[in-house]
Structure formats: C-alpha cells, structure tokens
Chain A
C-alpha cells in the first residue's frame, strides 16, 4: 500500500462501519434503538439522529434540549450525559472526529472526489483558518447562552421555546444529508420535513467542503466541545523533535491547518485542540518514528520514511 494512503484507507473503513453500526443501526438492530439502556448515549461528535431508530445522538443536542427546558430541575438531566461525554472524550479524544463522525465521512468523500477530478484544494490562509477555529467556540458559546436564556423564565425569550428551542438542529447539515437518502430508501416516510435552513447549510457544506478540506470541522460546535478536553485524552499525537527535519510536510497535509505539530521543538505532546486525530501528518511525515500516536502511553502508530515502502507508480 502506498505510504501516503496506509492510514487513510483504514480510517475510511472505520468511518463507514461506524456510520452503519454506531450512528444508524441500519442493519436489523432496530429495537436496540428504543432500549432505555441506550437512552443516554450521547456521543461527543456530530452524531445524527436522523437515521431511523439510531440509538445515539450528539451531546450538543442534549445540551440544547436540557438547557432550554429544565431550569426547574437544575439541569440534573445533564449530569449523566455530560459524565458519559467526558468519559468518551477522555477515552478516545477526538478520534471521535476523524474516525467515527457521520459528518466527517462526507467531508472526506468530497475531498476524495475533488482529488479524483484533479481540482486543487483551497488552503485557508493562516489568519482565516484561525478565525474559523475561533468561530466554533463562539458558536458553542452562543448555543449555550441562548438555550440557557430560553430556560430561564423572565429572560423574555420564552416564546422561542416552542419555535427555536434547539437552534443548532436547524442548521445541522446532517439533516438534509441523511434524511433525503433515507426517504429514498424508504426508511423514513416521504412526509418528513427538513427545515429549509438546514437545506441551505447542507448546500453550503457541500460546496465548501468540496474545495476546502474538512471545512465544517473548523466551525463545528461538537468539535469545539471535545477540543476543550481532548488534550487530556488517552490518545495522544506525539513528536520526537530530534528526528524532525522541519520539512513542513505535516503542516501542508493537515486538513485542520495546524502548524504546531511542525513548529514544536521541545515537548513531545503535540495534540492540538483543533486536531481531529486523522493522522494524515503521521502518514506523510518522511522521517522514521518522528511523529507517533500513543494510547495510554503506548506507541501504536509511527511515521515511516520512504525507505520502507514501495513507491507508487504512475
């Protein structure tokens, strides 16, 4: 297998399997989706519940839902889901993003299509990338602030509770992206309504992610929420600076525009809060064991020089 594809291909398999098993439960586990046991599984990534009977949903949904409606119970409903969220993020970090997210897969497929068509990617200028990365935290803040206000009587926003209680769901590109295929497959009734805003964001999503790698992940609030904790996760991206030639390959191939992996010259931990754990940098770094990934401190994936691989023929 070509050096520059050795991780990517395995990741694609993971993404597809997780779409089917974790997010959609398409294959016959329908009743599982109704079980109270899984009622509180709120995944850290931008999981969709628009799959018929899908057992899981995004924590971002749960947060909005609870904050908007449960002032009286002091949001106690959030305790368990948030605890599960923390455990899941500490367990896998943002592996949830690059390997298991139903909204990551279409972005990667769009990039693949673009590559196949020979259309160059647009690389966001550093400042623009940084600004977008900041946007996702702003989005997260607004979502929390807004829904919190909704839940507090006297905030004057009470009437929105019926109209726009879960604002992000109106925008979520997941919705149009997955509802229409399911209607086509007969998994959802044709009468299912997709908010027009979501249709618009989906079109925006498709257009942007085609030209800019993982564009949505720059602004995704679920990614922002994970980013707050994932530097403490069991999965860590690490670097042996003594082996680094400063070639800059890791920065160029990083879909999230992260420069810190390249510029770090002292510490070995280079997991950045914006890093989605896609390991593109590990795959492409041309120096043996310079970048590597650890789980519980144990190295299980390392960068390899071209010495160890067949070089792809044209």
Chain B
C-alpha cells in the first residue's frame, strides 16, 4: 500500500505516534530495496505451486480459470487497475468478519489482503516487531508495506476485524500507513448487548464506506448485493455437495477455488464455480475420479491455509491421501453461511448481515464454541473422513489451543488425529512428511491414534 501522506482532518487514519515521514523512512530501511526481490520470489512461488497443480491427475478443465486468477500479477490485477482508474475504491479486508455485502453495495471492491506469501514474512516480522507472531499476520503486514506489491498495493482503505491479538495489533500497525477501520469482534456471542454491539460494528463499516464514496448505500443496492452473495453461497454449497459424492476434485484445487473468491469479481466467480461443479458432476457419472475409492480420506482443520502456502495440502496429497473436507475459514467456511432475511427493509438487512457474520462463525476466537465442535462432526460425517489433520501455525494460540481441545473428543470417538505445527518456511518438510506418512499408514491400517501431538 502507498503511504497516505495527506490525511485530511477528521478522516480516519489515527494520529500516528511517529510522523508519516518517519514511518516512511522506517519502512524503507526495513525493506531496504528488497521490494522487487520479494515480489519476484512471491511470483516464483506461485508459478511453482501452479506447475505442481497442473500435473494433478484427472484435473477438471474448468480449473484453468482459477489457475489464471491465482496469479497475483495476472488478469485480475489489470482489472482492478482499470476499476481504480475509473474512480473505484478498493477495500482491503483482513478476514472472515468483514461484511462483503456492504462493501459491494457501496460500489467498492472487497479484496482480501494477501497472507499466504512466504516471501513477505520476514519484512512483516521486522515491521511488527514480534518474532513469535503467526506467519499469517507477518505475511499480511509484509504484503501491505512493500511498495507496488501486486494486487494489494491497490487498497484505498482497510477493514480490520480484531478476533485475535495478531490481527488487532496488525491493524494498529497498518493504521500508521493508511486509513483503516478496526472492527471490534466480540469473543463471546451470547446476550443481547453483544448482538447490539456487533450490529453497531457493521453499521460503522457502512458509515465508513459511505464516507469514502460520498454516496449513501441505499436499500436497493444492499438487496442486490445480498442476493449476489446468496448466489455465490448457493454455487459454493452445490460444489461442496458434489465434492462429497465422489473423489472428483483434489483438496488443493478446492482450496484454490475458495481463495480465488477473495480477490475475484464475485459474479464471475459464481459462474465459474457453477461451471466447475457441472464438469465435476459429469466426471463423477463417467467414473473419472482423481483418486480411487480406497484413497485415505482426511479432513484438514485449524489455521487458515492460504494460497500459495500449499505446504501441508501438498504433503498430504502427495503422500497418498485426499483432502475430502476441511473446516478452514479459508476453505469450506468461505461462503458456507448465507445471509437470510425474510424482510427487505434496511434495518432487517443490516441485522441479517450482522448475524450471518457472527452467530454461525466457527472461528476459534469464540468461547463457548459449540458451532465449531458441531461443524467438526458434520464435516467428518458428511465427507466420511477417516482422519483429521490439524494445521497449526506457529504462534497462533487460538488454533493451537483448539487443536488440543478438540483432539481429545475426536480421539475418544476413535477418529485419528494428527497435529502439525508449522511455519511458512519449507525447512520442516522432511520431518512433517515422516509424520504424515506414518499417520496415513495408520489410517489405512484402521488403527486408532498412536501418536502424541507435538
């Protein structure tokens, strides 16, 4: 993101404790001219991952579209530039709590900030100043401070929910370099006061966007946007159902489809997902599977797996398993829940949106969290998964704690569980591979979990 020097009076950027120029200088020293190299490494990583995906067996033709979109400097970057040239505003989002319908209704473009890029972790870490933070937050910080980073440098404004410490402080740090709205995510869902507070948070987003565009978000556009995303939800759910019927799509491909929704035009994405589902359906009826029925079926759980950090999915599927389901907010959960409203008054729509982003959310930041527990069981049973792999990012307390908490009842039910704690770097691949292979062997042997978690 470009530094915004001219912060108007009364506009959002917080009064910085450092002057803008001092910030600028600090970032320049941090990046130290490595910006281009970081971008280059990011692109190379993406190409390498895409090359791997291209080799997958019996891959649907419709995946070509998603491959194309997966390149951060590809056609989508150009489209966004054009959109901006016409005066459009791009709104960067942190994660799952940002009401996309409202951004869309305001005429702005929602864009999920990059957070799976390995190459930006280093600068992000120095910028935030905590080596123990999760790599996802570091990567996101890096993407935001490197000048001219493809896609993400286009953001005019950032909406930053604060479900965990990493995201809260990341938002605070990024506020120094550009306008940003922090959303206060409640950590306990119960009670009328929480509900009211969250509705106010959603209204804050609306008000902030209205200020940016100078236009009121009217009832009609809000309704149109809700319906647009309901259609995305419908397409997504249809894909999920199809995926459950037969092994017609690799878990990695499925996760990529989900990731593309973060940056893509949602209507086009919906059409492409529908196309993909149709192709998968005909593949299923033709018996053209990507992996045969005896392939060990695993469910991926835990910290978000964000493109192009395909380390764990690659390891799992290259070791002979197929990821048949997941409970990742970067995967299945993307459009899992729809906004449902039986009235189309403005108030009713805002409340429906607010509730959609809070109540069914399975993010580990909540307690109590029956939603997540129930969702686990639903996913395992619905996909007939034979084992669960918890992906835990180093430094992410919420997912680490939930992995331990949820492993116990799963193991008691006789479901094998493996917890993999990892960073974005490739250094631990060998070690993880050994554990994954042993885990898959155990699944194939139909034994109970013999492994202690690390």
- A residues sitting closer than 8 Å to B (CB atoms) are 4, 115, 118-121, 125-126, 241-249, 252-253, 265, 280, 283-284, 286, 305-307, 311-314
Complex: chain B residue closest to A125, CB-CB = B192
- Whether, in the assembled complex, B347 has its beta carbon less than 8 Å from a beta carbon of chain A, the answer is yes
User: Are the CB atoms of A245 and B337 closer together than 8 Å?
Assistant: yes
User: Are the CB atoms of B234 and A314 closer together than 8 Å?
Assistant: no
Q: How far is the CB of A270 from chain B (nearest CB, A)?
A: 16
- Whether, in the assembled complex, B434 has its beta carbon less than 8 Å from a beta carbon of chain A, the answer is no
CA distance A284 to B343 in the complex (A): 11
CA distance A115 to B223 in the complex (A): 14
- Whether, in the assembled complex, B338 has its beta carbon less than 8 Å from a beta carbon of chain A, the answer is yes
User: Are the CB atoms of B343 and A306 closer together than 8 Å?
Assistant: no
Contact of B337 among A120, A253, A286 (CB under 8 A): A286
**Chain A residues in 8 Å Cβ range of B341:** 4
Can you give 14 A-B contacts (C-beta < 8 A)? A119-B345, A120-B348, A121-B343, A121-B345, A242-B378, A245-B360, A246-B359, A252-B351, A252-B352, A253-B342, A286-B337, A305-B237, A307-B238, A311-B227
**Chain B residues in 8 Å Cβ range of A249:** 340, 355
- Whether, in the assembled complex, B220 has its beta carbon less than 8 Å from a beta carbon of chain A, the answer is yes
In order of increasing CB-CB distance, the 6 nearest A-B pairs are A120-B347, A247-B360, A120-B345, A245-B360, A248-B359, A307-B237
Q: How far is the CB of A22 from chain B (nearest CB, A)?
A: 27
Query: If A120-B347, A121-B348 touch, does A252 touch B355 (CB 8 Å cutoff)?
Result: yes
Which B residues, 229 to 264, have Cβ-Cβ distances below 8 Å to chain A?
A: 230-231, 233-234, 237-238, 241
Complex: chain B residue closest to A213, CB-CB = B343
- Whether, in the assembled complex, B76 has its beta carbon less than 8 Å from a beta carbon of chain A, the answer is no
- B residues sitting closer than 8 Å to A (CB atoms) are 192, 219-220, 223-224, 227, 230-231, 233-234, 237-238, 241, 336-338, 340-348, 351-352, 355-356, 359-360, 370-371, 374-375, 377-378
CA distance A283 to B340 in the complex (A): 11
Looking at chain B's contact residues, is the secondary structure mostly helix, strand, loop, or mixed?
helix
Q: How far is the CB of B334 from chain A (nearest CB, A)?
A: 14
Contact of B342 among A120, A243, A265, A280 (CB under 8 A): A280
Q: How far is the CB of A257 from chain B (nearest CB, A)?
A: 12
CA distance A283 to B342 in the complex (A): 9
**Chain B residues in 8 Å Cβ range of A4:** 340-342
User: Are the CB atoms of B340 and A286 closer together than 8 Å?
Assistant: yes
CA distance A67 to B103 in the complex (A): 63
Query: If A121-B343, A121-B348 touch, does A247 touch B337 (CB 8 Å cutoff)?
Result: yes
Q: How far is the CB of A191 from chain B (nearest CB, A)?
A: 43
Query: If A119-B345, A125-B192 touch, does A284 touch B234 (CB 8 Å cutoff)?
Result: no
CA distance A309 to B260 in the complex (A): 25
Looking at chain A's contact residues, is the secondary structure mostly helix, strand, loop, or mixed?
loop
Contact of A242 among B224, B230, B371, B377 (CB under 8 A): B377
**Chain B residues in 8 Å Cβ range of A125:** 192
CA distance A248 to B342 in the complex (A): 13
User: Are the CB atoms of A306 and B338 closer together than 8 Å?
Assistant: yes
CA distance A165 to B241 in the complex (A): 63
**Chain A residues in 8 Å Cβ range of B233:** 306
Contact of A314 among B224, B340, B351, B352 (CB under 8 A): B224
Complex: chain B residue closest to A306, CB-CB = B234
**Chain A residues in 8 Å Cβ range of B342:** 4, 253, 280, 283-284
A-B contact sample (7 more), CB < 8 A, given A248-B360, A311-B230, A314-B220 = A4-B341, A245-B336, A247-B340, A253-B340, A307-B234, A311-B231, A312-B227
**Chain A residues in 8 Å Cβ range of B241:** 307
CA distance A263 to B374 in the complex (A): 14
CA distance A312 to B338 in the complex (A): 14
Q: How far is the CB of A289 from chain B (nearest CB, A)?
A: 12
Q: How far is the CB of B241 from chain A (nearest CB, A)?
A: 7
User: Are the CB atoms of B237 and A245 closer together than 8 Å?
Assistant: no
CA distance A265 to B374 in the complex (A): 10
User: Are the CB atoms of A118 and B337 closer together than 8 Å?
Assistant: no
User: Are the CB atoms of A284 and B237 closer together than 8 Å?
Assistant: no
Contact of A248 among B355, B375, B378 (CB under 8 A): B355
Q: How far is the CB of B231 from chain A (nearest CB, A)?
A: 5
User: Are the CB atoms of A120 and B237 closer together than 8 Å?
Assistant: no
CA distance A225 to B364 in the complex (A): 45
**Chain A residues in 8 Å Cβ range of B220:** 314
User: Are the CB atoms of A115 and B337 closer together than 8 Å?
Assistant: no
User: Are the CB atoms of B340 and A126 closer together than 8 Å?
Assistant: no
**Chain B residues in 8 Å Cβ range of A305:** 237
**Chain A residues in 8 Å Cβ range of B227:** 311-314
**Chain A residues in 8 Å Cβ range of B338:** 286, 306
Q: How far is the CB of A62 from chain B (nearest CB, A)?
A: 36
CA distance A248 to B371 in the complex (A): 11
**Chain A residues in 8 Å Cβ range of B224:** 314
User: Are the CB atoms of A120 and B238 closer together than 8 Å?
Assistant: no
- Which of B238, B342, B346: most chain A CB closer than 10 A? B342
Complex: chain B residue closest to A118, CB-CB = B345
**Chain A residues in 8 Å Cβ range of B337:** 245, 247, 286
CA distance A111 to B427 in the complex (A): 63
